[in-house]
Amino acid sequence: MGQSYSAAPQVILMGLDSAGKSTLLARLLTGEVMETSPTIGFNVGTLDLDKKTSLTVWDVGGQKCMRPNWRYYLDDCKALVFVVDSSDRARMPEAQKALKKVLSDEKLRGIPLMVLANKKDLAGSMTIREISNQLDLQAHSDRLWEVQACSALRGLGLQQAFFSVNKLIKKS
């Protein structure tokens, strides 16, 4: 666990329930996930990309993202990472709606978006293009966005994705 949450840029992890956020955070932080108290209900950890670069990653939950208090975490948010289950076509409209709602928050104006197309290990998972279309990402021309495929379960593509998140933060 890093020494200070406030020193590293804050990244918020969101997505529908079962998208794979907890698995992803646990994998990314290699066992360093800190469970916050049930009243807060969020997981947080610091990801060290290299000796000089760290990101503080907050998992604010799936259903929980609709709770009023998650908005307080947006104050210092430098990037939003939205996780989708790329094998679940049926829930893409719901994911699209949730993403649109989150991005409409004034506090997130202009901040970059990384969509993680998780569960790429599953046969028949959607392509990046399909996911971009389903989430209507072209509509978000007012911010930098990117989609990357990963498998939280297998630990594939995660480190690369967060290096890209860091690049997006620097560019924006």
Q: Which residues are annotated as a binding site for Mg(2+)?
A: 22, 39
Using CB under 6 A, which of 8, 15, 81, 98 touches ligand G3D? 15
Pick from 11, 114, 152, 165 the residue near ligand G3D by CB under 6 A. Answer: 152
| Residue 98 near residue 64, CB atoms below 8 Å | no
Q: Is 119 in the site for ligand G3D (CB under 6 A)?
A: yes
Binding-site residues for GTP: 15-22, 62, 118-121
Tell me if 121 sits within 8 A of 153, measured CB to CB. Answer: yes
Q: Which among 20-28, 68-76, 100-108, 140-148 is the span making contact with ligand G3D, rule CB under 6 A?
A: 20-28
138 is catalytic: no
Query: Distance (Å, rounded) from C-alpha 83 to C-alpha 172?
Result: 21
Binding part of the chain for ligand G3D, among 70-78, 104-112, 146-154, 158-166 by CB under 6 A, reads 146-154
Judged by CB under 6 A, the chain residues 80 through 109 that form the site for ligand G3D are none
Angle among Cα 149, 154, 156 to the nearest 5 degrees reads 40
The β-bridge partners of 118 are: 85
Residues in the chain: 172
The CA R_g of the chain, rounded to the nearest whole Å, is 15
Cα–Cα distance, 69 to 60 (Å, whole number): 10
Query: From the CB of 18, what's the least distance to ligand G3D, in Å?
Result: 4
Chain residues binding ligand G3D by CB under 6 A are 15, 17-23, 62, 118-119, 121-122, 151-153
